[in-house]
DNA sequence: CTGAAAGCGCTTACAG
DNA sequence: CTGAAAGCGCTTACAG
């Protein structure tokens, strides 16, 4: 493994000079810099992140905490965050929680060490008090996508308002009996979105002077399969809703499937709307309220980089960015059968 | 930041003893070990990976090279690899190539340094000669998913055989005029699967005594949108195929959409089959040849861990694991209109 | 503009 | 079973 000494020896300067030249620091003559650069390239020299990290306290890596890498939304956000981070010279350390609470505790408690990362990007989940304490103890910049935590930068949609957009569409079509498919109680603890979207549903109903029946609020776990199961229940409920608002496109896709499976037509017999703008939504002809997913990852990474580039003393207030969502009308929604 | 010295001071032993106790090394009395463990816990001490890495040359991190994090297949493989790696105490460093050749070069050339990772997991892509040279120079264990590289462990499906399974299904239904949707020429350079699947298509046709028309081989880029565009072309071709084999479910989904968009019925007017067992395939009622995706990630991680656990001298031959695929018949395939 | 030297926080023979 | 000390490969005041 070639080290900085090899480069220094080759060029005939000290390691201090090599270090300065390679990192573009001032106080190196242009001629020396060129020779160092050349030698480093010839020798395939790359500074050891461990050694540099030990000397500076910086790791040039940011931790990205993801509930499930394999879900479209998170993959897309990571993809969005990747480019700016990579461009700024940071590596991404992926902390996949994989859904179960035990792994989640282990990841936050032991893997996610401040000695490993310069900053943390938390995707879509609301840290528990314990996790909040751990993250705070890290004493590193944190940015959150899809939730907001006081004191940290965040990028998210307005979940309640987004739910209202979906509901407004259904109400405008003339629906009065509207069901809801959302997360489980546990989802509501871990994630901010489920609760806010449920709130948007309830508020929209009551603003329209409609009452919500308990059997119209079904649990879909934010998966296709869950949405399918939830819709089966809703189809049995009395009275049966004429439209269903699912808090995610994946659940909406499952819901549409359940309706058709029951021999009913979408949207003639039952309308379905989702939230997300999932890449597959178009191919299911799904009406949805789309959010800019990739963009949220990009923005959050940018916020983190801004903080990282600023010295602590000049630190600005954390920014809380809300990105807009927009209704995309396709053909899973229509007026209720009269 | 509490360091090993703080722990040593608290317990009243040397840092060497703390180090040994914490890592479960022998030659520490049980009583001392307990006291060290207790003090470390009290002080929230975590060893600095940079310092440990510098001292040992090990980073306890594995690099995962992914063409696109945001695609279902890769997310699923990463998810599969995550658990065993995490359990073994390794962190995952995500190297997302993001599709473009420039980033790809930069990732392989500069970010993916042997000083950063102990091992590398390469997903689904065939390294170019240049990349091969870089990876080899790393001198770290490498495992590949979805391709095979001489000298390294790999986990994959038999792409040609899998294509033959799909073709056999179409042929058995009585189809003679079968089109193909695959990757671009560039895809075929970067990835192993596209070429092998194309080969399976061609071989199946010629074994059945059928000839392949050039206009029946369309480029779908392994995306839904690409599959859609490819199918539009195939629908214009003369003679028009009665069935289409798409080399991925995503392209197959796009293809089905194009058929319906043209006012034709699937499978009555045209049959479509894919490869993958994509999570959405079921909801499109898509016939496909499913591969165990999560499992391939898990296995590859396991192979890497095996190598990592073995000293170089006792290194075994790299294993090349082929996992089975299976036909899942749904309702996008049927006999040709007579 | 450049270099000698200390220091970052661990691990590891080596000695006892 | 335990400790003193060297060393891993950088960076950074400090001095010149």
**Domain harbouring B37, CATH code:** 1.10.260.40
CB contact under 8 A, B71 and A75: yes
Q: Is the pLDDT of residue A110 over 90?
A: no
Residue B137 sits in the same domain as residue B103:
yes
Residues A169 and A263 placed together within one structural domain of the fold: yes
Is residue B153 domain-shared with residue B164, that is, in the same domain?
Answer: no
- Give residue-wise pLDDT tens across range B2-53: 899 999 999 999 999 999 999 988 888 889 999 999 999 999 899 999 999 9
B78 lies in the same domain as B28: no
Mean pLDDT, chain B, whole residue set: 93
Is B205 part of a structural domain of the chain?
Answer: yes
Q: Quick one: pLDDT band at residue B222, thresholds 50, 70, 90? A: very high
DSSP label of B3? -
Cα separation, A154 vs A93, in Å, equals 19
How many A×B Cβ pairs under 8 Å?
A: 146
Please state whether strand C lies within 7 Å of residue B326 at its CB atom.
Answer: no
Q: Which two tokens stand for residue A185?
A: 């109680």
Rounded CA gap, B86 and B92, in Å? 8
Query: Domain holding A221: CATH number?
Result: 3.40.50.2300
Domain assignment of residue B338, yes or no: no
- B255 and B148 in one domain? no
Query: Using one digit for the tens of pLDDT, what is the confidence trace for B289-320?
Result: 999 999 999 999 999 999 998 866 666 778 99
Q: Give me the residue label for tokens 């090993």.
A: B4
* Amino acid B314: pLDDT: 66
Q: What is the DSSP string of B52-84?
A: HHHHHS--SEEEEEES-TTSHHHHHHHHHHHHH
**What is residue B312's predicted lDDT score, i.e. its pLDDT?**
63
Alpha carbons within 13 A on the beta-carbon side of B196: 20
Shared domain check, A170 and A133: no
For residues A142 and A102, membership in a common domain is answered with: yes
Domain that holds residue B183: 159-290
Residue B335 is assigned to a structural domain of this protein: no
Question: Is B100 within the bounds of a domain?
Answer: yes
User: Looking at the 3D structure of chain A, how many domains does it have?
Assistant: 3
The answer to whether the beta carbon of residue A48 comes closer than 7 angstroms to any atom of strand C is no
* Angstrom distance (rounded) from CA B84 to CA B62: 12
A10 and A94 housed in the same domain = no
The residues with which A142 forms a beta bridge, in sequence order, are A120
pLDDT for residue B36: 93
The secondary structure of A80-122 as a DSSP string is HHHHHHHHTT-EEEEEE-TT-HHHHHHIIIIIS-TTT-SEEEE
Instruction: Average the pLDDT over A41-48 and give the result.
Output: 92
Are the beta carbons of A278 and A254 closer than 8 angstroms?
no
Please check whether residues A163 and A286 belong to one and the same domain: yes
Residue A328 falls within a domain, yes or no?
A: no
Instruction: Quick: pLDDT tens for A150-187.
Output: 889 999 999 999 999 999 999 999 999 999 999 988 88
Domain match, B153 and B167 both:
no
Q: How many CA atoms lie within 13 A of B154 on its CB side?
A: 19
Are B214 and B275 within one domain? Answer: yes
- Look at residue A4 and tell me whether its pLDDT is greater than 80: yes
Range in A62-76, A195-209, B88-102 with the lowest mean pLDDT: B88-102
B283 interaction partners in chain A (CB closer than 8 Å): 224, 253-254, 257, 284
Query: Near strand D (CB < 7 A), which residues?
Result: A 1, 3-5, 15-16, 19-20, 22-23, 45, 47-48, 51-52, 54-56; B 12-17, 20, 26-29, 31-32, 51, 54-55
Same domain, A152 and A257: no
How far CA A104 is from CA of A187, A281, B251, in Å, comes to: 14, 30, 35
Domain membership of residue B336 (yes or no) is no
Tokens 């194309």 — which residue? Answer: B198
- Residue with CA nearest C1' of nucleotide D6: B55
List A residues 215-234 in contact with B (Cβ-Cβ < 8 A).
224
The nearest CA of chain B is from the CA of A273 a distance in Å of 17
- pLDDT at B133 (0 to 100): 87
Residue A336 forms part of a structural domain: no
* Residue B170 counted as domain residue: yes
């Amino acid at each position: 493994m070639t080290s900085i000494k090899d480069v220094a020896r080759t060029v005939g300067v000290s390691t201090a000079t090599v270090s300065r030249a390679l990192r573009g620091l001032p106080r190196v003559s242009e001629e020396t810099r060129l020779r160092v650069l050349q030698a480093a390239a010839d020798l395939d020299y790359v500074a050891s992140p461990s050694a540099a990290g030990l000397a500076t306290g910086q790791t040039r890596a940011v931790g990205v905490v993801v509930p499930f890498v394999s879900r479209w939304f998170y993959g897309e956000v990571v993809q969005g965050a990747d480019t700016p981070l990579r461009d700024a010279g940071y590596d991404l350390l992926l902390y996949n929680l994989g859904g179960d609470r035990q792994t989640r505790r282990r990841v936050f408690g032991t893997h996610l060490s401040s000695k490993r990362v310069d900053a943390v990007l938390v995707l879509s989940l609301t840290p528990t008090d314990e996790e909040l304490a751990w993250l705070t103890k890290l004493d590193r910049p944190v940015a959150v996508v899809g939730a907001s935590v006081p004191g940290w930068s965040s990028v998210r949609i307005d979940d309640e308002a987004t739910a209202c957009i979906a509901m407004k569409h259904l109400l405008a079509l003339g629906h009065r009996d509207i069901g809801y498919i959302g997360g489980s109680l546990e989802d509501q603890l871990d994630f901010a979105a489920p609760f806010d979207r449920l709130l948007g549903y309830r508020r929209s109903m009551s603003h329209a002077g409609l009452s919500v029946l308990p059997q119209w609020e079904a649990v879909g776990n934010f998966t296709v399969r869950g949405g399918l199961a939830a819709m089966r229940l809703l189809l049995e409920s009395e009275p049966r809703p004429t439209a269903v608002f699912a808090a995610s496109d994946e659940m909406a896709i499952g819901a549409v499937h359940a309706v058709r499976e029951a021999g009913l037509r979408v949207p003639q017999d039952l309308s379905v709307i989702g939230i997300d703008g999932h890449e597959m939504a178009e191919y299911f002809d799904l009406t949805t309220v789309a959010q800019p997913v990739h963009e949220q990852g990009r923005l959050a990474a940018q916020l983190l980089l801004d903080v990282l580039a600023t010295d602590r003393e000049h630190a600005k207030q954390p920014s809380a960015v809300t990105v807009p969502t927009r209704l995309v009308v396709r053909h899973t929604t229509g007026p209720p059968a009269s």
